[in-house]
Structure 1
């Protein structure tokens, strides 16, 4: 259902600038451009990775989207309190270490900790259970806050599957739930079946070394998108692995640069596809 790299990465330093509200029944982090609501030209909803709506990296990313794109950005608790614990990042890193005898001695302990943290997330947030929550939120958003604004979905890892399914073109009151989608290193996709059903344009940011979607599958995504004019695009970030958009190691210069480039990829995509939206 997932891969070890889905739960690895790095926690970033920073203080999110948004606020927490309740929106359509879900706790939601919301952030706007520095100039406030008058500057908003669209809505982006982040469907996060395994670490959910409270993870500082996801909130900082939401802030970047708001300031760079002049969007109101929502980061809802689609997992309803069942995100993977952030401490599992370190336990999985410990599982992967093999450089000393102590690494091997402590490995069983870290494996058990990882199972304890990750398995409940996978079960409680399986797609069949989480999809209705995501779909209902977007339907309510379109009828209310998104009635007169373009709406985009930005999904990462766990959220990538939901973004692609939203792009199959579900509607409410004759309007699509989203006008464009962006996904960074999605997981759990059925390739090429999920891609072939896309009717709303989606931009993919993929890592060359991603263990969830490998290069042959990335080529399949490209091929499926190319079958339909305007269905989407794929950008491969060479040397990047799974999670680079959200959990890039900011100590490693190239990876941090790629994470920032992926931010710009998303903003540029939404800018282009929101420009012609008429609601």
Structure 2
């Protein structure tokens, strides 16, 4: 997979209000919120150095401030408990790569992707979902970039009640055909992972699944906008704020 925007972006200011002292299925996990009824698994973004300590996340991992701030927003606005597990065995990509061209250039996304491919990471994703499934009456999952394939598969395995994904990566047509829950797609105009061909396939084939679905197009935005958009520009801020609001509205409808 070649995607320069997978490595680019902006770190957001703000102090997370949740806790990273918990574990989920044995994985270190950031948790925000206190709901006993609705859970959200955030699948997202990796510092090169290995450290020993759900939206799923992008390649920057469970410790990225952006992912934790998103979790806090979802917890508060959805009245849910949000979980952001460490799916990468302690490997964290240095957030300073955002502003350091040399670090960005030296990071090998292909090698990282092979270390954390679908086959290797699905057992951990599945275990987290099963543990939450037993705990909450309603469970959603949101995935950014890397987390896109994960939420598709969770839906296909009927392990969650609804999924949302922004600029998803590593998924395929079979994943689209196997969706069994309400799904929301947050699609930027420019995206090397959510290609025009995959967008077209989703639009043509999601109606055939029989599940409620929503496709929201973000003109002028690129891969990573929803989790690493530039808060210093009106365009960047408007994009990630609209993506967050859209996900909140979607989950409010299908989880409450």
Task: Verify same fold: TM over 0.5.
Answer: yes
SS where residue 222 of structure 2 aligns? coil
* Residue 213 (structure 1) aligns with: 194
**Alpha-carbon RMSD:** 1.8
Query: Partners in 1 of 2:92 and 2:212 — Cα distance?
Result: 31
Deviations 1:107-164, CA, capped at 9 Å, x for gaps: xx863x223xx45522221111011110111112212x22xx2000000000011001
Runs of 4+ that moved beyond 4 A:
none
How many residues are matched?
A: 242
Given the alignment of the two structures, is residue 4 of structure 1 paired with residue 13 of structure 2, yes or no? no
Gaps of at least 5 residues in structure 1 are 96-108, 171-175
Gaps of 5+ in 2: 44-56
Match of 1:114 in 2: 107
Distance 1:119 1:216 in 2: 22
**What residue is the counterpart of 1:27 in the other structure?**
28
DSSP 3-state at the match of 1:268: helix
Aligned partner of residue 240 in structure 1, secondary structure: strand
- The reply to whether residue 177 of structure 1 matches residue 173 of structure 2 is no
Deviations 1:187-239 (A, max 9, x none): 1121x222011111210101011222233421221111111232422111101
Q: Distance in 2 between matches of 1:74 and 1:130?
A: 17
Instruction: Report the 3-state secondary structure (helix = DSSP H, G, I; strand = E; otherwise coil) of the residue aligned with 2:29.
Output: strand
Note if contact 1:2-1:187 (Cα within 8 Å) is conserved in structure 2. Answer: no
Whole-Å separation in 1 of the counterparts to 2:62 and 2:148: 15
CA contact (8 A) 1:24 1:141 kept: no
Report the TM-score, using the length of structure 1 for normalisation. Answer: 0.81
Q: Which of the numbers 34, 43, 53 marks the counterpart of 2:39?
A: 43
CA contact (8 A) 2:2 2:192 kept: no
Correspondent of 1:189 among 148, 165, 171:
171
2:143 maps to 1:155:
yes
Q: 1:227 to 1:59 in 2, by over 3 A?
A: same
Report 1:63-78 matches (<5 A): 63-78=72-87
Q: Secondary structure at the match of 1:238?
A: strand
Q: Structure 2 vs 1, CA of residues 245 and 40 (structure 1 numbering), >3 Å: closer, same or farther?
A: farther
The answer to whether the aligner puts 1:124 opposite 2:115 as a matched pair is yes
Q: What is the CA–CA distance in structure 2 between the aligned matches of 1:85 and 1:224, rounded to whole Å?
A: 38
Q: TM-score, normalised by structure 2?
A: 0.88
